[in-house]
Chain A
Amino acid sequence: MSFRLEPRADASLALKLTVSLAAGLAALLLVALPVLLAGGNPLNAYALIIQGAFGSMFAFSETLNRATPLILTGLAAAVAFRARLWNIGAEGQLYIGALAAIMVGSGLLAMPPALLIPTVMIAGFLAGGMMMVIPAILKQRFGADEVVITLLLNFVVILLVQMLIEGPLKDPLSMGWPQSVPLLAEARFDKLVPRLRMHWGLVVGLVAAVLLWLMVRKTVLGFEIKAVGENHAAARFAGIPVNATMLKVALLSGGLAGLAGVGEVAGVKGYLSSDLSPGFGYTGIVVAMLAGLSPIGTVFAALFVAAVFVGADSMSRATGISNYLADLVVALSLLCVLVGSFFVRFRVHHEPDAALARRR
C-alpha cells in the first residue's frame, strides 16, 4: 500500500473540536439517504429537526430537559473510558439510582427538603456506583471482562425494577399501570422556570461536569487515574495503587449514571417506571465519545444529541418519517467520531511507489 501512517506528536484542541463537529455533521448528512428512501426531503427534515429542538422557548427547554440525563451518563462513560474501564452499564446504573431514590425518598425517611434531596442524591449515587464497583471487583478478582458483565447487568436491573414496581413498590393508586409509589414532594427537584419541564437536575449535571474537569486537570486523583488508564504497568511500577484507583473510577462512573436516574425521577416523572429511560445509558457512550471524553465537551455533546432526539420527534410528527432517525444519527455520530479519532492519532502520508525507480 502506498499510504504511510505517522503518529501525530501532538493533536491540537482545535483539531479535536473540528473532528467532533465534523463527525456530528457527517452523521446528519449520512441520514439524508434513509430520509430519501423513506420518501422525505432531507433539507426539510433537517430544518424541522432544528426547529423542533430550538424553535421556541418550550422546544429549547425540552432539549435541555433531554440533555440533563445525557450529561450525567455521558460523564459516567467519559470518566470510565478515560481510565480504560469499559462501563457499558450506565443504563442499569441509571435505573438502580432511580430505584434507590424511590426507596429512600418515598416516605421511608421524613426530612425537610434541604436534607432529603441530598440524601436521595447520595443514595442514588451510591447505588449506581455499587452497580459498577461489582463488575470492577469481578474484573480484578476473577479477570472477568467488565464489558459483557455490565451489558448483561442492564437486563438484570431492568427486570429487578419491573419486579419491584409490580410488587412491593407498586403504586396502589396507579390503576394497574406498573409504576412505583411516588417520590415525596420534599424530595423532588424544583423546576428552573415555571411551566417548563427543565429542572435542577440540569444544574447538577453542569456542576458535575465542572467538578470532573477540575478533578482531571488539577488533582492527584486525576493524575493517578490518567496514569492507570494510559499505562497501568507503569502506574503500578511507580507505586500508584492500580486496583484502588480503578474502584474509585468505577464508583464515580456508576454514581454519575445513578444521579441521572435520580434526576429523571426527582425532576421529571416523580415515580419510577420501566420506561424511565429510552436508552440514556447507551446514548451516554456516544455523548462521551463525541466529546472526546472531555467533561466540559460532554455538556455540549449532550446538548447536540438531545437536540437530535427532541427535533426528530417533532420532525416525525410533521412528516411521518420514523423518529428512529434520531437513533440512526446518534449511532452514525459514534462511528464517524471514531473514524475521526483515527485522523487525530495519525497523519496519513501518500507515498508514491517510486522506490524501485529512484536508484541513485
Chain B
Amino acid sequence: MAKAPAAVKALPPVPNRERPDEPKAYEASKEELLEFYKQMLLIRRFEEKAGQLYGLGLIGGFCHLYIGQEAVAVGLQSGLDGDKDSVITGYRDHGHMLAYGIDPKVIMAELTGRGAGISRGKGGSMHMFSTEKKFYGGHGIVGAQVSLGTGLAFAHKYNEDGGVAMAYFGDGASNQGQVYESFNMAELWKLPIIYVIENNEYAMGTSVNRSSAEDQLFRRGESFRIPGIQVDGMDVLACRGAAEEALAWVRAGKGPIILEMKTYRYRGHSMSDPAKYRSRDEVQAVRDKSDPIDHVKKLLDAQGVTEAELKTVDQEIRKIVNEAADFAEQAPEPEAAELYTDILVETY
C-alpha cells in the first residue's frame, strides 16, 4: 500500500534582495483611535457637505469626493512628521488636506470660489496647496504629482533635511508613463519617497482589470527594484502599520517604496459621474461590510467608548463642517483685481 506523501510545509520564497517586512496592524491607543475616528468622520462629513453645496450650485466645475477612502489618508499621514515630511496628491485632494491639519474653512471657501479660499479662489477643488503645512497640491493632470513628488523627495535628499515625500496617485494614474520615468530615477538616486497607489478600483469608469495588464499594482515597481506592499485601505490601523514599515524603509536610505492601498470610492468619479459602470449592490456591499469608519467605531466600542461619547464627537464634527460651509457661503468672491495677481512673482 502506497503511503500518502508526508505533507511538506512549503518554505516561503527567499528574496534575492532585501525586502520590507510584512507590515503589522498598528496598535493604537484609545486616544489615537478616537483621533483617527474624528479625522475620518471630518473628511466624510466635509465631503458630504461639499456634495450638497455642489448640488446647490455653490461649487462648480470638477469636484472629486474622497468618501470611502478616508482610512488611507488618515492612517498614512498620521505616521508622518508634519514638520519635515511633504505630501502631494492629484485632484481628489480634500481628504489629504484635512488629514494634514489644514483648516476646513479655507478648503471649503476655495471650493465655493471665494477670496478667503486657500488659493484665493483661483485654484478650485483640484488645485489647493499649503506650503506652510508642506502640502504641495492638489494637481489636476493625472500622474503629474508622481514626478513632482519625486522632485520633492529629491529636494529632501539634496537638503539633507531628513524629510520624506508621500505622493498619492490612483489606479488610473499608475498606467501613466511619467510614473515609471519617476520610479526609475527615484530608485537610481535612492530618493526618500513613498508612492501611494490608492486603488479604488475605477479610473473614472474603467475598472482596473480593463485598464491594467498587471492588476496587482503593488508589483508595478518590481522592474525598478522598488518593493511594494498591498494594504487593506479600508482599515485605518493596517494603513498606519504600512506607513510605519514604509517610513522605516525610506528613512533608512533604502530608496522608494510603493504602497498599494485597496480601497473604494462610494461616489462617482466626480460630481457629474452617474457611475453606471458598477451596480448599486456592489457599492452597498462595500458600505455594509467594509466601511472604514464603521470599522473604527467597532474598535472604539471594544475599547469601551460609549455610543454617547461618539455622538458628542459626531456633533462636534458636524459643527466644524457647518461652520466651514457657512464661512464658504458668506465669504465674498475674490476682488476683480485678483485676476491679475500671482501670475509672476517678480516685476519686470
| Physical interaction between A and B | no
